């Protein structure tokens, strides 16, 4: 059985002990040679490297490997070791601080999964968030209901881990009359009111009270159903009980009052309904003071401290741009310790941005609170999404990272009586060119080549093909007028013959709409042939 450890250097020359330095699960394999093999270092079951790669290759005479192990949810450090016995590593064995430093095998740990929502877990005076948390063998955790007196704890408030199993069943929180609309089959709610003085709800669910405090315990029960009854274990004095005097309270609040509490008032105070359903508050009156709060070590941390005696509260804040690392409200508890360590103000930093898009780049990248990340795309691409995002107060970016999309121009229109001269590509990216050509007896009017620009538009409007009649050439012994490279539809030709020649037929060829002449150019004939 192997456990996760944080390994640190520790060389003990007397026993030729070697330490290994890494964050790994230790995994050990058999060895056919003398002594034991170099211990392998594995991460999540995958062997990464052996100690021989880092330190030495000869482990034949190494008897032990010692390392510092972090055990439990608070990272408690213990000195642990493995021993070479019969060619195999045995262990780990770890020291127990309560047993004079002797080494013992590590027993199985315990978990607290699927806890009821209203249970609060405390371990070594630190509140633990339930979930994927393991507690080492021998650990004791305290559990209480989140709202004292509003829920009744059913079960033991202290659990001890015993080799993978808890000493008793996990307790439950039973809702009381305030939550069940004052039904008779629910235990009564007991509210705690402190008009003067101070008190603290302890991890065990007990109420620790500073001497001199005035304390009212209010049992909530419908008066029309009968009178509840207060009992107590303290023999110090009798306590005033009875229905509240105020009009709005006297039908459902049955009160017990402790004036100017003294240590002798410590005990269990129980309210019972006529049906025998009960709810109790355990009161411990102690003159306890905690260490004064010192926040001078953190220039950004501000605190409003009520005092340093039992039940006093300290409230912490950080300025804009910083987040509180820890608990904002601390209470002085009966142990003489504050309910949590003094928090720290850490600057708000958003995670660094990793760009998976090869066409996307950062113009600006400030991960501090209020900082910006500004993006741009390479030539031929456009941003899809916000061009800039900001680091917000929760340490997250205000939006997702944009992407780059290739700029494309719309498919060009093929001109009437013409065609596109393309390379067969379906999409037209920036820089791609398209050529146009006209059918026979048509002339291109406009640019014969257009280019896709970064705006996603073509560099020129598409051309068009206009019908043109070709120059037919001069007839023999004559000439045509007008003379052009090409003729537009509707143009007429006139033939003029040289001296001694005449046009046999009076004809004027006309250029038609399809680029053809209406008739052939007439011939010039000699007078002698006419």
Domain boundaries, the chain: 4-105, 110-175, 189-285, 302-347, 360-406, 408-467, 470-530
Q: Give dist(CA 279, CA 188) in Å, integer.
A: 6
Region 302-347: CATH code: 2.10.70.10
Q: Give dist(CA 143, CA 280) in Å, integer.
A: 16
pTM of the predicted model as reported, rounded to 2 decimal places: 0.61
Average pLDDT over the chain, rounded to whole? 83
Q: So what CATH class is 408-467?
A: mainly beta
Region 110-175: CATH code: 2.10.70.10
Q: Look at residue 27 in the predicted model and tell me its pLDDT.
A: 39
Given 3.40.50.880, 3.90.1150.10, 2.10.70.10, 3.40.640.10, which CATH number is that of 360-406?
2.10.70.10
The 3-class secondary structure across 178-199, one letter per residue, is CCCCCCCCCCCEEEEEEEECCE
Taking a C-beta distance cutoff of 8 angstroms, is the pair 74, 126 a contact? yes
pLDDT tens sequence across 32-76: 446 777 776 554 445 555 444 445 556 667 777 877 766 666 667
Q: So what CATH class is 470-530?
A: mainly beta
Beta strands per DSSP E along 28-106: 40-43, 46-50, 64-71, 76-85, 88-95, 103-105
Q: How buried is residue 339: exposed, middle or buried, by Cβ count under 10 Å (0-12/13-18/19+)?
A: buried
Whether 408-467 and 360-406 are alike in CATH topology: the answer is yes
Region 189-285: CATH code: 2.60.40.10
Q: Give dist(CA 347, CA 352) in Å, integer.
A: 14
- Which residue in 312, 128, 79, 304 sits closest to 208, CA to CA? 312
Q: Which residue has the higher pLDDT, 219 or 23?
A: 219
Mean pLDDT of 410-424: 83
- Check whether 2 has a pLDDT greater than 60: no
Structure-token pair, residue 182: 């004052």
Bond preceding residue 92 cis, omega within 30 of 0? yes
pLDDT tens sequence across 153-208: 998 989 998 888 889 998 989 999 999 988 889 999 999 999 999 999 998 889 99
Mean pLDDT of 439-464: 90
Range in 101-110, 342-351, 378-387 with the lowest mean pLDDT: 101-110
- Check whether 474 has a pLDDT greater than 60: yes
Q: Look at residue 43 in the predicted model and tell me its pLDDT.
A: 46
């Amino acid at each position: 059985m192997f456990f996760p450890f944080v390994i640190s250097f520790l060389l003990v020359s007397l026993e030729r002990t070697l330490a290994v330095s890494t964050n790994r699960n230790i995994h050990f394999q058999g060895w056919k040679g003398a002594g034991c093999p170099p211990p392998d270092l594995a991460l999540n079951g995958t062997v990464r490297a052996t100690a021989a790669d880092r330190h030495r290759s000869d482990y034949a005479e190494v008897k032990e490997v010692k390392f510092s192990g972090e055990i439990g949810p608070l990272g408690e450090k213990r000195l642990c070791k493995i021993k070479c016995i019969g060619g195999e590593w045995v262990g780990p064995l770890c020291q127990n601080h309560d047993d004079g430093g002797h080494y013992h095998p590590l027993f199985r740990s315990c978990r607290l999964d699927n806890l009821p929502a209203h249970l609060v877990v405390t371990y070594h005076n630190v509140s633990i968030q339930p979930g994927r948390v393991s507690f080492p063998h021998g650990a004791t955790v305290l559990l209480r209901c989140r709202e004292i007196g509003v829920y009744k704890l059913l079960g033991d408030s202290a659990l001890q881990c015993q080799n993978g199993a808890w000493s008793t069943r996990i307790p439950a929180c039973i809702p009381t009359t305030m939550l069940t609309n004052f039904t008779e089959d629910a235990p009564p709610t007991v509210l705690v009111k402190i008009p003067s003085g101070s008190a603290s709800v302890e991890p065990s669910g007990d109420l620790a009270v500073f001497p001199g405090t005035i304390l009212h315990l209010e049992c909530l029960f419908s008066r029309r159903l009968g009178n509840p009854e207060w009992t107590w274990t303290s023999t110090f004095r009798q306590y005033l009980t009875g229905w509240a005097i105020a009009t709005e309270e006297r039908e459902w609040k049955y009160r017990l009052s402790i004036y100017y509490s003294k240590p002798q008032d410590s005990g269990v105070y129980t309210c019972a309904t006529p049906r025998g359903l009960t709810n109790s508050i355990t009161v411990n009156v102690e003159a306890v003071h905690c260490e004064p709060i010192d926040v001078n070590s953190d220039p950004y941390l501000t605190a409003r401290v009520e005092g340093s005696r039992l039940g006093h509260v300290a409230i912490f804040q950080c300025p804009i741009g910083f987040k509180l690392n820890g608990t904002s409200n601390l209470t002085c508890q009966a142990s003489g310790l504050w309910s949590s360590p003094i928090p720290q103000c850490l600057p708000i930093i958003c995670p660094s941005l990793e760009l998976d898009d090869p066409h996307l780049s950062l113009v600006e990248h400030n991960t501090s609170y209020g900082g910006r990340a500004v993006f741009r795309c390479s030539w031929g691409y456009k941003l899809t999404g916000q061009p800039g995002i900001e680091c917000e107060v929760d340490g997250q970016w205000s939006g997702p990272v944009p992407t780059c999309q290739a700029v494309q121009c719309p498919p060009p229109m093929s001109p009437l009586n013409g065609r596109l001269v393309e390379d067969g590509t379906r999409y037209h990216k920036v820089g791609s060119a398209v050529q146009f050509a006209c059918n026979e007896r048509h002339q291109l009017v406009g640019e014969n080549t257009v280019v896709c620009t970064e705006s996603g538009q073509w560099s020129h409007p598409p051309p068009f093909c206009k019908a043109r009649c070709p120059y037919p050439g001069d007839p023999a012994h004559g000439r045509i007028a007008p003379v052009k490279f090409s003729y537009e539809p509707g143009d007429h030709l006139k033939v003029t013959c040289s001296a001694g020649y005449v046009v046999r037929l009076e004809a004027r060829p006309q250029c038609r709409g399809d680029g053809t002449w209406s008739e052939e150019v007439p011939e010039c004939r000699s007078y002698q042939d006419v």
